Structure 1
């Protein structure tokens, strides 16, 4: 991690080479994080909290948007360090707990090459082994999150994984889409490595149709901070990663 970027009045991005983490300030002087990056990332996340004036025990919630290693990778370490509760989509919860195997994505040719590059990078980085973690709250479509500074709607967005979720902060018109949406060169693109490509495209279209979204905090790429509705409307997820 080399920076801490404020994306909204109560949201900061903690960037990582694979899988950004977002920190959200809560009204009770606590914090939540959305995703946890790869294994071994907990010290950098705790350092980001310290830079915001928070102690480890100020972390109240860890929201895991889906079960992939670059999103749940450091959740167990963060729970040990902070005592935070883990929230995740109900269909991905067994994988996050280690009670069910990860369903493998179906790669397009372009995705296969990208996946090989990422795996080489992981091997070179010497990542610690993945540790599974308990899920305290299983989330479903239409749920809301307690303790946040504004209404947060949970959206079930399957396709990337069976139980992926997005978070829609309706007051600030901010979206955490998980890996359904990424960005490349200012464009919104379908996230690669999907277990169900057609389902992921449908989830992308659902998020793009929300309308009341000004900011999109993607885990991969740069956040969309201006013209989000137009960027999402002009996206062509059906054509990405072929």
Structure 2
């Protein structure tokens, strides 16, 4: 999967069957990534970078919204190819580095068939576990990211994983929510992302993101991005009822 899609000025989506990647053009001529796809996605990501006019060494930052393999899976390969620095939530950093086991999700009955199906697909495709990768910068709530086009606020939004983060770009009115928020295939309905380690905390994180005022666009990793009217879409969501 290698079809680049411009979402906003300086921001493109690289869609994958599981776990979209977003590419951000930086003011210095370099690029940042939000997540990296499953293991084996690095060639497609580097190909997308080349179509934008970038070379491997132009990739400056890789921001991982959380530790799951469809987000971190190609980080080690991309770091080896580009020298990019990795940024991730502080509480997920040990899982990404491989120094602590990742906590399993507490699946609801409605989530289990979906989880089992995805797991079976990964097994059939022989998707390996993600290789550990060094986290150069541990991110905390209230941090800002350097060198992006406009301010970027880091939000700690636990529940999906202990250290999940979201990125809010108020000037662009854009949000990268990680897996706290998913959408339907049309991007018209927002739902709580499944497979959470703490469902109640994830619902609270969803509501925190839904309450942000400066958001028109939501760049989800699963589903279609919400392109305009995001506050209404998020305001109509009922995360407490999802996956029950």
Quote the residue 2:99 is aligned against. 99
Measured in 1, the distance between the counterparts of 2:100 and 2:116 equals 24
Q: CA offset at residue 77 of structure 1? A: 0.3
Unpaired runs of 5+ residues, structure 1, are: none
Secondary structure at 1:109 match in 2: coil
Q: CA offset at residue 18 of structure 1? A: 0.5
Measured in 2, the distance between the counterparts of 1:155 and 1:2 equals 29
Task: Show structure 1 runs of 4+ deviating over 4 A.
Answer: none
Quote the residue 1:64 is aligned against. 64
Task: State how 1:1-242 maps to structure 2 within 5 Å.
Answer: 1-185=1-185, 186-242=188-244
Give the TM-score taking structure 1 as reference length.
0.99
Deviations 1:47-77 (A, max 9, x none): 0001101001000000000000100110000
Give me the CA root mean square deviation. Answer: 0.7
Secondary structure at 1:44 match in 2: helix
Deviations 1:202-235 (A, max 9, x none): 0000000001100000000000002100000000
- Name the count of aligned residue pairs: 242
Q: CA offset at residue 104 of structure 1? A: 0.6
Given that 2:166 and 2:177 are in contact with CA atoms closer than 8 Å, whether structure 1 keeps it comes out as yes
Measured in 2, the distance between the counterparts of 1:8 and 1:204 equals 23
Secondary structure at 1:113 match in 2: helix
Q: CA offset at residue 2 of structure 1? A: 3.8
Q: CA offset at residue 128 of structure 1? A: 3.2
Q: CA offset at residue 127 of structure 1? A: 1.5
Measured in 1, the distance between the counterparts of 2:124 and 2:52 equals 31
Given that 2:2 and 2:44 are in contact with CA atoms closer than 8 Å, whether structure 1 keeps it comes out as no
Secondary structure at 1:144 match in 2: coil
Measured in 1, the distance between the counterparts of 2:2 and 2:82 equals 22
Deviations 1:1-38 (A, max 9, x none): 14110000110000011100000000000000000011
Deviations 1:72-95 (A, max 9, x none): 110000000000000000000011
